[in-house]
């Protein structure tokens, strides 16, 4: 029997296509209906976004540690946030705050023309960039910065996905939405976070709650 080489792109055994198919079936059972999102999660090798020691758990529907106290988000939450920003059509330019492992950015990059992502921890960003290169994802631009300010030089964005929690919606990010853009972010104190979707319509910003979540905090400054 062939032995899986470290970080095989296609994956074998616990990191195989069958494992991804099972994950997609589970997401569907839990109410994810967007075929575009399910299609990408069924193809993208999530096991390459975690440490080799955790690769066998990459297709469980769970968050996993990526070092430095951070986590790759649970696939269900990635699917839900991605479907939320695709709801009214495909956004052309998307900003993600909190690159982490790079998985959410990679999912987005398979679905929209241009992704920008910012991360405050240099070491995580470096590893995520290697993954983007290895997978040939050329439509992701990334920056080592505090995402509280967004990426003003590159805005406005048709969608913004925030993958770390703040007590309140971050005003500079709302201002970087295009006229009909939408933002999805975890909001609220630790232990009582809600996923919030904000839809901008000109000078009106309408928000709705999409359910309880548990993200690491959005922190100030870079390291
Ligand atoms: N989207 C990630 C999950 C990220 S976990 C993935 O798919 O793997 C949250 C990430 O947000 C962490 O990497 C954390 O360092 C980062 N983060 C926290 N506060 C931030 C800030 N102010 N600006 C940019 N990134 C931030």
26, part of any domain: no
The answer to whether residue 178 is catalytic is: no
156, part of any domain: yes
**Total domains in the fold of the chain:** 1
Cα separation, 36 vs 42, in Å, equals 10
Residues 34-75 pLDDT 10s: 999 999 999 999 999 999 999 999 999 999 999 999 999 999
Ligand 1 lined by 147 (C-beta under 6 Å): yes
Ligand 1 lined by 71 (C-beta under 6 Å): yes
CA of 202 to the centre of ligand 1 (A): 29
Q: To the nearest 5 percent, what fractions of the chain are helix, strand and coil? A: 35, 30, 35
- Single out the catalytic residue among 73, 101, 142, 182: 73
88, part of any domain: yes
pLDDT score of 11 more than 70: no
Please give the helix or strand (H or E) that residue 97 lies within, else none: strand 93-97
Residues 194-215 pLDDT 10s: 999 999 999 999 999 999 999 9
32, part of any domain: no
**Confidence at residue 83, expressed as pLDDT on a 0 to 100 scale:** 98
2, part of any domain: no
25, part of any domain: no
pLDDT score of 169 more than 50: yes
- Of 18, 51, 70, residue with least CA distance to 217: 70
In degrees to the nearest 10, what's the CA dihedral of 26, 28, 32, 38? 90
55, part of any domain: no
Q: Which phi and psi (to 5°) does residue 52 adopt?
A: -50, -35
The structure's pTM equals 0.95
* Closest Cα to atom 16 of ligand 1: 98
Residues 74-93 pLDDT 10s: 999 999 999 999 999 999 99
**Domain extent at residue 149:** 67-213
**Pair of tokens at residue 40:** 């990408």
163, part of any domain: yes
Helices 17-29 & 75-86, crossing angle to 10 degrees?
70
- Which CATH number characterizes residue 184's domain? 3.40.50.150
Cα separation, 207 vs 4, in Å, equals 46
């Amino acid at each position: 029997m062939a032995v899986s080489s470290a970080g095989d792109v296609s994956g074998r055994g616990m990191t195989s296509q069958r494992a991804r198919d099972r994950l997609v079936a589970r997401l569907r059972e839990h109410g994810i209906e967007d075929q575009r999102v399910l299609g990408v999660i069924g193809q993208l090798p999530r096991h390459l976004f975690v440490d080799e020691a955790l690769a066998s758990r990459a297709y469980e529907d769970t968050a996993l540690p990526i070092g430095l106290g951070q986590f790759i988000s649970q696939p269900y939450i990635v699917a839900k946030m991605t479907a939320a920003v695709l709801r009214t059509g495909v956004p052309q330019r998307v900003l993600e705050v909190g690159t982490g492992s790079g998985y959410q950015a990679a999912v987005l990059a398979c679905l929209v023309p241009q992704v920008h992502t910012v991360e405050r921890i240099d070491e995580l960003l470096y590893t995520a960039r290697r993954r983007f290169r290895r997978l040939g994802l050329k439509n992701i631009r990334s920056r080592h910065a505090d995402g509280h300010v967004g990426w003003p030089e590159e805005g406005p964005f048709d969608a913004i996905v925030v993958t770390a929690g703040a007590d309140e919606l971050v005003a500079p990010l709302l201002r970087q939405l295009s006229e009909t853009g939408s933002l999805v972010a975890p909001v609220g104190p630790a232990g009582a976070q809600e996923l919030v979707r904000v839809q901008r319509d000109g000078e009106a910003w309408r928000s709705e709650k999409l359910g309880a979540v548990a993200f690491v905090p959005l922190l100030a400054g870079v390291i």
